[in-house]
Structure 1
Amino acid sequence: MCRPDHYGIYYEINPWMDRNRQADRTVALRQWEVLYQLLTETLRVQVELLPSVPGLPDLCFTANAGLLVDNLFVSSRFRYREREAEVPHFTQWFLERNYRVACLPEPALFEGEGDALFCGDRLFAGYRFRSELQAHHLLAELVGMPVHSLELADPWFYHLDTCLCPLQPGRAAYYPDAFSPASQRLLKETIPELFPVTEVEARRFACNAIVVGQAVVMNADCPHLARTLAEAGYQVHEVETTEFLKAGGGPKCLALFLDREAT
């Protein structure tokens, strides 16, 4: 994770972002701290911190840094130049800790865990708005496993982690209308138990949740999904990330998994 010390809406690269609707950094810092304390103190998650950097307002969205598969960190190649300067900071952090670091060959665009999520041993990857389908083939070769490609259909759900939340092997929450019809079919074929999310709650980024074992850290004011998860045996922890939603981010956007098996 990365403290949002320099967070703000300074450019517009997705439909959520509007420079005239600025985030309140004081509130954002408070919301981030609540999330951090919930993870570290209540759920006992070990969280490593990346130093914040002036001029990189989206560095706090560490899920977009890349994808970690075992000891290999596959670094992102961002679609928009506004985020390109984040890459050296992410890669340096992993290199200093003796991870293997790789990047997909140019010009393949790939935005890390924002667009690539494991559900059990299955790797799902989204494409169209930020990552490219071509990148999925290259990613599969690099990590040595098949990638299930999902076409995103709604620009408001521009990353896969905004509309799909893997819960455990064979189970996930998702917002159906964020996917093309073919990708909806693929999800139903590969994930036996899917919990559909309503449009209202999807726009609250209900799917952008952090899953730690049987605990699910999700945005507040998503009562339908919260009730569904509780009935399915999960411990639901609700947090506010209203200031990050202004940039198209939620709880999951603020965290990158270093140990996939722990989830």
Structure 2
Amino acid sequence: MRVPVPRQYLMCPPRYFAVDYVINPWMDPDVPVDADRATEQWTVLRDTYRRLGHSVSEIEPQEGLPDMVFAANSGTVLDGRVLGARFRAPERAAEAEHFRRWFVENGFRDVTMPTRVNEAEGDFAWTGRVLLAGTGFRTDPAAHAEAQEVLGVPVVSLRLTDPRFYHLDTALFVLAEATDTEPAQVAYFPGAFSPGSRRTLERLFPDAVLADAEDAACLGLNAVSDGRNVVLPVEATGLADRLAVRDYEPIPLDISELRKSGGGPKCCTLELRK
């Protein structure tokens, strides 16, 4: 049986969540957003993590920053070292400083703010041995080298080619990090990547769980795994079945309101690897 690993997460309540602008294909300001329902869905997500034995810290949301709820874009934390965020869209730019202050005020002393556009765990996924790094729509390719220098880990670049999957965390997630005896396991949607990146993933993860187009279309890959329990959108039933066959425990949640802004469980969740 797979063993869950306790995690520490940072989340931001969706007090000011709205879809007021368009910076990805999921967003449509003409589609009404139920703010109360979004808060309910976010609260269930947070409480699910705590029920599973994980620690969740919260940052105070800021008025005028409706996407601040997507805390995964705020930084990349490895061994207590923080590489902050630099957003491509001006609408989100101010989020970076709020999160930087939170890191400093909460005991993270080694905080580096990037010089290149870098949307953090939106485009960075730690496998336990290498940092998978997405590019194509948000994070600059040069930010991958910057991440390697700041975090001191090897980086593997992957190119996204479908605008619906504008961040790496919409197309891939780590199921279990590598250990001294076991390789990492990931799940991903091949159709989101360039041919060369698909070949790279096949070489690195020959035993990966592959999602189909239907799973990807509901942001089913925007999931969070603790090595056993996998929190994912309720609509991703095919992916859930594939995970169960591999002895993972799927935990489907409704994130339909948050998806109106192109987000899901992972987008709301930054892992604090101290």
2:133, 2:157 within 8 Å by CA — same for their partners in 1? yes
Shift of 1:120: 2.3
Question: Which residue number corresponds to residue 102 of structure 1?
Answer: 112
Question: Which one has more relative contact order, counting CA pairs under 8 Å at least 6 apart?
Answer: 2
Aligned to 2:69: 60
**Deviation, structure 1 residue 231:** 1.2
Structure 2 residue 252 is the aligned partner of structure 1 residue 252:
no
Aligned to 1:220: 234
Residue 70 (structure 1) shift: 1.0
Which residue number in structure 1 is paired with residue 80 of structure 2? Answer: 71
**TM-score, structure 1 normalization:** 0.95
Distance (whole Å) between structure 2 residues aligned to residue 119 and residue 103 of structure 1 = 22
1:105-148 deviation per Cα after TM superposition (whole angstroms, max 9, x unaligned): 2xx11100000001222110000100011111121111122210
Query: Are the equivalent residues in 2 in contact too, given 1:4–1:60 (CA < 8 A)?
Result: yes
RMSD over aligned CA atoms reads 1.0
**Residue type at the aligned position of 1:28:** A
Q: Structure 1, residues 146-189: CA drift from partner, whole Å, max 9, x if none?
A: 21000001010000000001111331110001000000001111
Distance in 1 (CA, whole Å) between partners of 2:264 and 2:271 is 15
Question: Are positions 1:31 and 2:41 aligned together?
Answer: yes
Matched residue, 2:256: 242
Is 1:130 the equivalent of 2:130?
Answer: no
Secondary structure at 1:156 match in 2:
coil
Which letter maps to 1:81?
A: P
Structure with greater helix percent: 1
**Greater CA deviation, 188-197 or 171-180?**
188-197
Q: Within 2, Cα distance between the matches of 1:50 and 1:90?
A: 8
Deviations 1:55-100 (A, max 9, x none): 1101110000010011111011100110011111100000012211
Q: C-alpha distance in 1, partners of 2:46/2:89? A: 28
Q: Secondary structure at the match of 1:38?
A: helix
Which residue number corresponds to residue 224 of structure 2? Answer: 210
Matches of 1:138 and 1:230, distance apart in 2: 37
- Aligned pair count reads 257
Give the deviation of 1:249 after TM superposition.
0.3
What is the match of residue 144 of structure 1? 152
Shift of 1:236: 1.1
Letter in 2 for 1:154: D
Identical-pair percentage: 39
* Alignment check: 8 A CA contact 1:8 1:23 kept: yes
Which one-letter code corresponds to 1:192 in the other structure?
A: P
Q: Is 1:51–2:71 an aligned residue pair?
A: no
Unpaired runs of at least 5, structure 1 = none
Any conservation in 2 of the 1:171–1:192 contact (CA below 8 Å)? Answer: no
Q: Distance in 2 between matches of 1:39 and 1:141?
A: 32
